[in-house]
Structure 1
């Protein structure tokens, strides 16, 4: 079973980028090589601030969407400690 990950990365211009990947390390390397998402081109190098493992691509995409709707301040809070994981658990409870 391949797990999917949601990640929050900091760009060189201090913006935050949220994405999903099976292999976060490989995906960040693609971003840094200018072959990732259009948003990250020219904003490298990216550094990973937080990750969360998800059981399925669908779960990862739902979490990514929820994170992308947050303000910068809220995203920064998620990068501290295990807050991204706690946010994901709370989100899954709300969906039930």
Structure 2
């Protein structure tokens, strides 16, 4: 059975990049080496792998990646820091009056 990874990289400008791969070590190396000049991470190196999760079903991994990409920086940091109790409050939409 193949394993898929959803991962978060912390970039040198303190932004986060979320991606998906079936070979985490290889993909991280490619990001660090700047293999793809058009990539978001290319000009934001060096990078730090700060989070990853394993999945056995590619569809679930893709859905998770898409969901995390829409999250705020604060919500991503709560996930990275294992502060799961903060996630519900960070998930609430803030409406202006």
Q: TM-score range with shorter-chain normalisation?
A: 0.7 to 0.9
Q: Distance in 1 between matches of 2:16 and 2:25?
A: 17
Q: Distance in 1 between matches of 2:52 and 2:3?
A: 12
Regions of 4+ moved over 4 Å: none
Backbone CA RMSD of aligned residues: 1.7
2:9 is matched with 9
Q: How far does the alpha carbon of each residue in 1:5-55 deviate from its partner, in whole angstroms, 9 at most, with x for none?
A: 100110111110000011212111101111146101111121111111011
TM-score normalised according to structure 1 size: 0.79
1:42 is aligned to 2:43: yes
Aligned residues: 84
TM-score normalised according to structure 2 size: 0.79
